[in-house]
Amino acid sequence: MEEIWQGSYGGSQSDEGSYHFERSHIEPIYDAFVCPLTKQVMRDPVTLENGQTFEREAIEKWFKECRESGRKPVCPLTLKELRCTELNPSIALRNTIEEWTARNEAAQVDLASRSLSLDSSENDVLQALKYIQHMCQKSRSNKHVVRNAELIPMIINTLKRSSGRVRCTALETLRIVAEEDLDNKEVIADGDTIRTIVKFLSHEHSQEREEAVSLLYELSKSESLCEKVGAVNGAILILVGMTSSKSENIVTVEKADKTLENLEKCENNVRQMAENGRLQPLLTLLLEGAAFSLSAVVLFS
């Protein structure tokens, strides 16, 4: 399967963050789809009076530069002066491009699904994870595609891999999939996944700890999941320890602290924090006169 993914990355195999969707298409790309200015597939093609077609934003920028430099508007391809700069939407071409894009994305999702199987190579898994990241960052609606294609459980399964690179990328991918999507958060938190994520907080590799706490922070933004995170044995104890650790990097410490702040929404979590030396949340509740169970107050007696 590796040869199918070939060319998916903009650099070497180690350059995992440089996935360029526009450079890798299962169905061939047609010249008519590509804007002569941006060299990218057009999303909003418009046609000039001379019949040349460009991406709307690109040609508008070109005309703006012509005006600002005191030049008369010319076609960027022919360099011939234009009588008018009216842009006519190419609806038929746009519809064709949209259909082509949908077919390619469906094929890419299917390929990603097959690449996430346990018998795939490390490189195939990494490229599939990076593709999923790319599509989720490209459009929020693609997060629904990832969920409906049942890719989330497959991503979670890659956390069992022996490769630290794969595990880190999987944690990062889950965070991106979960961002601003409550349904995806719920799918990720289903079963024993939160317990697995918490275990990564104690891993020897700092990058895995950072990715794990970043994912927990994202999940903790959902109030319905705060109790579930706190219910994992040792989760709050480890997070409290991270906030005062001298060996963790500043990003990990800050994310651990913010995660705990989110977890304060749950009374049981506040109690656990106090039991492990983080007293401020409980003091705040008491000072604000919030209704709090007697068992929490007993901590001070």
Give the span between the Cα atoms of 192 and 285, in whole angstroms. 31
User: Residue 136 in contact with residue 176, Cβ under 8 Å?
Assistant: yes
Residue 251 token pair? 């990003």
pLDDT, residue 7, reads 37
pLDDT, residue 248, reads 84
Give the mean model confidence (pLDDT) for residues 116-121.
86
Beta bridge partners of 19: 9
pLDDT, residue 282, reads 82
Residue 197 token pair? 């994520």
Q: Is the pLDDT of residue 291 over 70?
A: no
In this structure, of 70-74, 172-176, 226-230, 287-291, the range with the lowest mean pLDDT score is 287-291
- Sorted by sequence, the CB contacts under 8 Å of residue 5 that are 6+ apart come out as 24, 111, 115, 123, 124, 127, 128
Give the span between the Cα atoms of 251 and 33, in whole angstroms. 42
φ, ψ of residue 231 in degrees (nearest 5):
-75, -15
Question: Per residue in 170-215, pLDDT tens?
Answer: 999 999 999 999 999 999 999 999 999 999 999 888 899 999 999 9
Question: Per residue in 72-110, pLDDT tens?
Answer: 999 999 999 999 999 999 999 999 999 998 898 888 899
Q: What is the 3-state secondary structure (H, E, C) of the chain?
A: CHHHHCCCECCCCCCCCCECHHHCCCCCCCHHHECCCCCCECCCEEECCCCCEEEHHHHHHHHHHHHHCCCCCECCCCCCECCCCCCEECHHHHHHHHHHHHHHHHHHHHHHHHHCCCCCCHHHHHHHHHHHHHHHHHCCHHHHHHHHCCHHHHHHHHHHCCCHHHHHHHHHHHHHHHCCCHHHHHHHHCCCHHHHHHHHCCCCCHHHHHHHHHHHHHHCCCHHHHHHHHCCCCHHHHHHHHHCCCCCCHHHHHHHHHHHHHHCCCHHHHHHHHHCCCCHHHHHHHHCCCCCCHHHHHHHC
Give the mean model confidence (pLDDT) for residues 247-257.
91
pLDDT, residue 267, reads 87
Q: Is the pLDDT of residue 273 over 50?
A: yes
User: Residue 214 in contact with residue 255, Cβ under 8 Å?
Assistant: yes
Q: Is the pLDDT of residue 19 over 50?
A: no
What is the per-residue burial (b if ≥16 Cβ within 10 Å, else e) of 40-50? Answer: ebbeebbbbee
Q: Cα dihedral sign for 39, 42, 44, 46?
A: positive
Q: Name which of 143, 165, 169 is nearest 155 in CA terms.
A: 169
φ, ψ of residue 47 in degrees (nearest 5):
-115, 140
Crossing angle (nearest 10°) for helices 182-189 and 206-219: 120
Mean pLDDT of the chain: 87
Give the span between the Cα atoms of 73 and 81, in whole angstroms. 6
